[in-house]
């Protein structure tokens, strides 16, 4: 008789765990609105250099004072290789790849994005401290991966 009791306890316990997992999944999906990314901005990897969004890479200061950086991560370099932005302003990085999967990490900051061909990665942050930061590819992209680096220079606001 005790054997059946233990089996029933384990069956009910397992069923309760499944219900709890499904309940937490439903609560985060519908209650908190947490969903996987969708409607991601796409781009034709073969036409990246002629696409108007990425034809001119570099830094642009918008009328509201925010900064937009358009960059390419390609075998085995970042274009532009040196980026200069002002401190204390929101900076939006828009990065894509025309060839293989890359990473875009600014060492010592919270900027870390995966750059996949066919997709536009976008990250916004504010750099409060002037200085030089290393930009590295943190996704293995081939034989020259170890030399793929760039430089971010955060300049003091005037």
42's CB contacts (< 8 A; 6+ apart) are: 118, 119, 120
Q: What is the DSSP letter of 75?
A: T
Domain coordinates in residue numbering, the chain = 1-35, 45-155
Quick one: pLDDT at residue 2? 64
Q: Are 73 and 97 in contact (CB under 8 A)?
A: yes
β pairing state of 77-79 and 149-155: unpaired
How much of the chain exceeds pLDDT 70, in percent? 94
Distance CA 140, CA 37 (A): 23
- Degrees to nearest 5, angle at CA 78 with 72 and 81: 120
- Residue 3 has a pLDDT of 66
Instruction: Give me the CATH topology for the region 45-155.
Output: Immunoglobulin-like (2.60.40)
**Pick from 87, 106, 91, 67: which is nearest to 155 by CA?**
87
Q: Which helix (H) or strand (E) holds 13?
A: helix 2-26
Give tens-digit pLDDT for 64-89: 999 999 999 999 999 999 999 999 99
Give which of 116, 109, 110, 76 is closest to 95, Cα–Cα: 116
The reported pLDDT for the residue numbered 40 is 82
Q: What percent of the chain has pLDDT over 90?
A: 80
How confident is the model over 5-46, as pLDDT tens digits? 888 899 999 999 999 999 998 888 887 777 666 668 999 999
Q: What is the mean pLDDT of the chain?
A: 91
What is the β-pairing status of strands 67-74 and 90-96?
A: parallel
pTM: 0.76
> How confident is the model over 116-132, as a mean pLDDT?
95
């Amino acid at each position: 008789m005790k054997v059946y009791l233990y089996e029933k306890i384990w069956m009910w316990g397992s069923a309760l765990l499944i219900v709890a997992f499904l309940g937490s999944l439903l609560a985060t999906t519908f209650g908190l609105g947490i969903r996987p990314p969708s409607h991601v901005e796409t781009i034709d990897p073969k036409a990246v250099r002629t696409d108007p969004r990425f034809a001119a890479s570099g830094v642009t200061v918008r009328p509201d004072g925010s900064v937009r950086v358009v960059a390419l991560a390609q075998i085995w370099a970042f274009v532009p290789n040196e980026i200069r932005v002002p401190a204390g302003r929101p900076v939006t990085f828009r990065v894509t790849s025309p060839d293989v999967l890359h990473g875009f990490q600014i060492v010592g900051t919270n900027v870390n994005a995966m750059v996949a061909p066919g997709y536009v990665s976008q990250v916004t942050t504010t750099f409060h401290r002037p200085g030089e930061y290393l930009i590295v590819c943190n996704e293995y992209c081939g034989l020259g991966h170890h030399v793929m680096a760039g430089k971010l220079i955060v300049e003091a606001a005037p």
